[in-house]
Amino acid sequence: MQSNTRKTIAHIFIGIVNRLYAPIDRFSTTLRDPAHRTAYIAIIADDMYHEHSAWNYTLALNFSNRISIVATDRLLPNGIFNKEVASKIYGERQYKLLKRMIGLQFYGYERSSDPTSLLFSPLMGIDDLDRMSTDNGTRIQELVTSVTSS
């Protein structure tokens, strides 16, 4: 699919989300027990583009009322031909992005200026995501370096 077509489809999707957001926002308040916090994270297996931004793509969008959308297409590793390593990288990227959304939307954590933090902001792309550490200190850059140097 051509890039312009993909962008158009993504813009249509974002337009639908924006039009439907008010009802989703109202509906989400009926799902939630006011005594407990709930976060809603939609995961799409495609690129996502924000129509009010000059960015080429966005990895995630956060809305009020603890609603997020995560796009996974850019999380696929390029140039890694070892399926086991590629799968591990893809899984680590998903884990980081979802954990980030939970931290921001559910726990209300503040964004960070530390580039190794999962809450680093602004998250401008995959390189930023790969630089972030998980709880166990694993960085995707280390995985990629070990595969490409062997």
DSSP 40-64: EEEEESS----TTS--S--SEEEET
pLDDT tens digits, one per residue of 97-128: 999 998 888 888 899 999 988 899 988 889 99
Under CATH, to which class is 3-148 assigned? alpha beta
Taking the model in full, what pTM does it have?
0.69
Domain spans in the chain, listed from the N-terminal domain onward = 3-148
pLDDT tens digits, one per residue of 75-88: 999 888 999 999 99
pLDDT over 70 for what percent of the chain?
61
- What is the side-by-side order of every strand in the sheet holding 40-44? 40-44, 67-71, 60-63
